[in-house]
Each structure stands twice: as structure tokens, then as C-alpha cells.
């Protein structure tokens, strides 16, 4: 039996959840991740592959190109949210990240629109 540490177990559970939601066999997904990185989120290979699944930039580009042809709401939502996360990591604040999500010519209008929606949705809670 494989002994996993706390972080590996957390990663395993996340993979199982996401794989199930995306219609991928969770056991297969976890097994690939284990073989690639021992379920490490921060693994980086000498060839530049990164993360739990050791994805290369070429594989990521292929995936993104293929997604244009996939009518799958969950993939679309996951990619959009991950892109927002990337922008926030790069630009540090929601305002700055939001301003980089839109066309530079539309920034004042777009920022106001997004922040008005944020206020509206925050009031629903």
C-alpha cells in the first residue's frame, strides 16, 4: 500500500474531484499524476514541464487549441477561472487584474461594469 503524506492526500482528493467532474477516470488521473510527480504541485522537470501532471508548454497550447472545438461548460469555466487566478497572481490586485482582462481602450467602462456587478453579487450573500 502506498503511504501518502497530507499534501499528497489533498492533491489526490482534488484530482479525484476534478477528474470525476470532467468525466475522466479518477484512478487513472491520480495514477498518471503519481507517476509524473508523486502528486507534487510544484514539480518542475529539467525539460521545463511543470506541475502535478508535468505538462509542457506544447501540451498546454495543444489543449487550449483543442478547447476551442469542445462544447464543454466545465472546461470553459475552469480555464476562465484559472486565467483570472493567473492575472491576479501577476498583477496582485483585483482591479489591476481586471484591467488586464479587457481591451485597454475599454478599461474605464469595463472596470466600472465589473465592480458594479461585484457590488450587486456581494449584496446577495
Q: What is the pLDDT of residues 30-64, one digit of tens each?
A: 888 888 888 887 888 888 878 888 877 777 777 77
pLDDT at 40: 85
Per-domain residue ranges of the chain: 1-66, 71-125
Contacts of 112 (CB under 8 A, 6+ apart): none
- Mean pLDDT within 66-75: 65
Between CA 115 and CA 85 the distance in angstroms is 17
Q: What is the dihedral of CA 6, 2, 78, 101, to 10 degrees?
A: 60
Between CA 57 and CA 96 the distance in angstroms is 26
Q: Label residue 69 by pLDDT band (50, 70, 90).
A: low
Per the model's pLDDT, the better-predicted residue between 18 and 66 turns out to be: 18
Q: Inform me whether the pLDDT recorded for 6 exceeds 90.
A: yes
Q: Label residue 18 by pLDDT band (50, 70, 90).
A: confident
Residues in the chain: 125
The closest of 4, 3, 11, 52 to 32, measured between CA atoms, is: 52
Between CA 19 and CA 28 the distance in angstroms is 9
- Mean pLDDT within 75-99: 83
User: Are residues 68 and 47 in contact, defined by beta-carbon separation less than 8 angstroms?
Assistant: no
pLDDT at 70: 63
**Crossing angle between the packed helical segments 6-22 and 26-37, to the nearest 10 degrees:** 140
The conformational region for residue 6 under phi > 0 = left, psi -120 to 50 = alpha, else beta, is alpha
Q: Inform me whether the pLDDT recorded for 23 exceeds 80.
A: no
Amino acid at each position: 500500500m502506498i503511504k501518502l503524506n497530507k499534501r499528497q492526500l489533498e492533491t489526490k482528493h482534488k484530482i479525484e474531484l476534478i477528474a470525476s467532474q470532467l468525466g475522466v477516470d479518477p484512478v487513472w488521473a491520480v495514477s498518471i499524476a503519481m507517476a509524473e510527480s508523486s502528486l507534487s504541485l510544484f514539480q518542475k522537470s529539467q525539460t521545463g514541464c511543470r506541475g502535478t501532471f508535468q505538462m509542457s508548454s506544447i501540451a498546454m497550447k495543444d489543449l487550449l487549441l483543442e478547447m476551442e472545438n469542445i462544447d464543454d461548460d466545465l472546461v470553459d469555466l475552469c480555464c476562465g477561472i484559472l486565467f483570472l487566478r493567473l492575472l491576479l497572481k501577476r498583477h496582485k490586485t483585483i482591479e489591476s487584474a481586471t484591467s488586464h482582462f479587457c481591451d485597454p481602450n475599454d478599461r474605464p467602462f469595463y472596470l466600472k461594469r465589473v465592480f458594479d456587478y461585484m457590488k450587486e453579487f456581494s449584496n446577495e450573500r
